């Protein structure tokens, strides 16, 4: 396979987002837009990826190096347009071999196969191949001026005349070149357009003047939607979710109401899982075979074992790991805790920073008190432990295997295996006292009249 250098552009200001967060860090499916683009370039087999960022874009660099440590970063100090941005990776393209693809960083639905559409055209002998698409509304996009298979120029919307604006075929987001052709042209771009910028799209007309062979390929519209404002961001999110829902269902997951099930880019669900309506899968969630997720749950960073039952109204936060056939019922929150095989947390619990043993039963309203206001502490609950309703386990504390904690206990000391722990005031009975109490209350009420 021919070497492919992908130059991803992300230095633009994206002012139409009206945000203090750089445009390409806005998430789609829980992953920043730029993450989707870098993943697509990797999936396409790019041998080297360069990312062009602005000097104030530390956050973009941090995010991307977390996702793909081998990405090379280049600063575009002054934002003088897409050609100027692409030229910043000079160190890489000046000696590169094979192909170079310039990719806009604001296209979160891009996939590896979209790169192939244009690199295939280079394989067929073209010198320059541009990815086009036919959006419903082409306004704002650069128009492809073609004659049959040949592409003559790309005219930016702002610079286009009436006739050019009537063209429906637009520049999507990947411009691919034989690297020698790119090298011959990139430094010669002028800034004669309406914005006073150096446009990468001008390379097309220049390549024609230099008698190179220039053509295009057409991508499915949904793959190449650009994000310039929050309306387009919401549209991209909707397309992402539809894709992911369809993919899940095709792989054997039952979604009772797909339109209300939200996934992240990395959600992994095994077959024969059923998901009831209104469930949110944040990043880092995996679900094992046969689990049932009842309605109205919220998950992030959680591993849900096979044949578990979760919800309705359950919240799993980062580090929640549910063992096989465990049950986490309504209004239960689990954070940074391992729940053993077959353990049950059926109602109204908070379990944080804990290990819950196999087949343990945590009663309604029982919680771990894991935070002392300054530090977090662990609670270890053994196998087969029974924690009575409304108990508070004040960490750090250990409850031995098969121990029993009486309802309403506040447990501050370790409990031995097989022991019964009671941490509450002893019950007092005063026989026949209720009528006296009532009479006293009635007297108080009468004295107020």
Binding residue for ligand UD1, selected from 4, 11, 28, 332, defined by CB under 6 A: 11
Over 265-299, what HEC string results? CCCEECCCCEECCCEEECCCCEECCCCEECCCEEE
| Closest chain position to ligand UD1 (CB) | 142
CB of 9 to Mg ion, least distance (A): 9
Binding residue for ligand UD1, selected from 17, 40, 52, 291, defined by CB under 6 A: 52
CB of 347 to ligand UD1, least distance (A): 48
24 closest CA partner among 86, 93, 100, 103: 103
Binding residue for ligand UD1, selected from 32, 35, 215, 226, defined by CB under 6 A: 226
Residue 231 or 439: the one with the smaller Cβ distance to ligand UD1 is: 231
Residue 86 or 273: the one with the smaller Cβ distance to ligand UD1 is: 86
Strand boundaries in 319-381, DSSP class E: 321-322, 327-330, 332-335, 338-339, 344-347, 350-352, 354-356, 361-362, 367-369, 379-381
Q: Does 41 bind ligand UD1 (CB under 6 A)?
A: no
Q: Does 197 bind Mg ion (CB under 5 A)?
A: no
Residues 53-112, interacting with ligand UD1 (CB under 6 A): 76, 79-82, 84-85, 104-106
- Give the total of residues touching ligand UD1 (CB under 6 A): 27
35 closest CA partner among 13, 1, 59: 59
What distance in Å separates the CA atoms of residue 66 and residue 320, rounded to the nearest whole number? Answer: 22
**26 among known catalytic residues:** no
- DSSP for 120-171? HHHHTT-SEEEEEE--SS-TTSPEEEEETTEEEEEE-GGG--HHHHT---EE
Q: Which of 157, 235, 347, 377 is catalytic?
A: 347
Mask 106-145, x = binds ligand UD1 (CB under 6 A)? x----------------------------------xx---
Mask 88-127, x = binds Mg ion (CB under 5 A)? ------------------x---------------------
Handedness of CA 228, 230, 235, 236 (dihedral sign): positive
Residue 155 or 335: the one with the smaller Cβ distance to ligand UD1 is: 155
Specify whether the CB–CB gap between 284 and 302 falls below 8 A: yes
Binding residue for Mg ion, selected from 226, 305, 311, 388, defined by CB under 5 A: 226
What distance in Å separates the CA atoms of residue 162 and residue 362, rounded to the nearest whole number? Answer: 71
- DSSP for 1-68? ---EEEEEE--S--GGG--SS-GGGSEETTEEHHHHHHHHHHHTT-SEEEEEE-TT-HHHHHHHHHH-
Residues 160-179, interacting with ligand UD1 (CB under 6 A): 170-171, 173
By CB under 5 A, name the binding residues for Mg ion.
Answer: 106, 226, 228
**Binding residues for ligand UD1 (CB under 6 A):** 9-12, 52, 76, 79-82, 84-85, 104-106, 141-142, 154, 156, 170-171, 173, 199-201, 226, 228
Which residues are catalytic, by number? 347
């Amino acid at each position: 396979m021919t070497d492919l250098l992908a130059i991803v552009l992300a230095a633009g200001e994206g002012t139409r987002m009206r945000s203090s967060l750089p445009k390409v860090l806005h998430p789609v499916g829980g992953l920043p837009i730029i993450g989707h683009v870098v993943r697509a370039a990797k999936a396409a087999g790019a041998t080297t990826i360069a990312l062009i960022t602005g000097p104030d874009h530390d956050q973009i660099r941090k995010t991307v190096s977390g996702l793909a440590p081998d990405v090379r970063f280049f600063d575009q100090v002054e934002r003088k347009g897409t050609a100027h941005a692409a030229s910043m990776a000079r160190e890489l393209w000046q000696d590169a071999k094979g192909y170079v693809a310039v990719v806009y960083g604001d296209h979160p639905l891009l996939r590896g196969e979209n790169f192939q559409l244009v690199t295939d055209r280079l394989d067929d002998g073209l010198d320059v191949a541009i990815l086009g698409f036919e959006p419903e509304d082409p306004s704002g996009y650069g128009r492809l001026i073609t004659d049959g298979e040949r592409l003559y120029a790309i005219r930016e919307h702002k610079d286009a005349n009436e006739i050019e604006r009537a063209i429906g075929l637009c520049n999507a987001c990947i411009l691919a070149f034989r690297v020698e052709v790119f090298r011959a042209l990139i430094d010669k771009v002028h800034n004669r357009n309406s914005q006073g910028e150096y446009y990468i799209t001008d390379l097309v007309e220049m390549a024609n003047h230099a008698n190179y062979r220039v053509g295009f390929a057409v991508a499915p519209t949904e793959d190449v939607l650009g994000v310039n404002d929050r309306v387009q961001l919401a549209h991209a999110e909707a397309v992402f979710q539809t894709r992911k829902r369809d993919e899940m269902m095709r792989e054997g997951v039952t979604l009772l109401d797909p339109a209300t099930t939200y996934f992240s880019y990395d959600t992994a669900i095994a077959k024969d899982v059923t998901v009831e309506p209104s469930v949110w899968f944040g990043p880092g969630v995996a679900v094992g075979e046969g689990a049932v997720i009842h309605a109205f749950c919220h998950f992030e960073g959680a591993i849900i074992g096979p044949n578990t039952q979760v919800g309705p109204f359950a919240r799993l936060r980062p580090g929640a790991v549910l063992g096989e056939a465990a049950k986490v019922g309504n209004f239960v929150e689990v954070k940074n805790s391992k729940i053993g095989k077959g353990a049950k947390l059926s109602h109204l619990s908070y379990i944080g920073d804990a290990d819950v043993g196999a087949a343990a039963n945590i009663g309604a309203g029982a919680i771990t008190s894991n935070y002392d206001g300054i530090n977090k502490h662990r609670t270890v609950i053994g196998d087969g432990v029974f924690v009575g309703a409304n108990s508070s386990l004040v960490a750090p504390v250990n409850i031995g295997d098969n121990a029993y904690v009486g309802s309403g206990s506040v447990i501050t000391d370790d409990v031995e295996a097989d022991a019964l722990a009671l941490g509450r005031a002893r019950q007092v009975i005063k026989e026949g006292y209720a009528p006296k109490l009532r009479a006293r209350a009635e007297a108080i009420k009468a004295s107020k009249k």
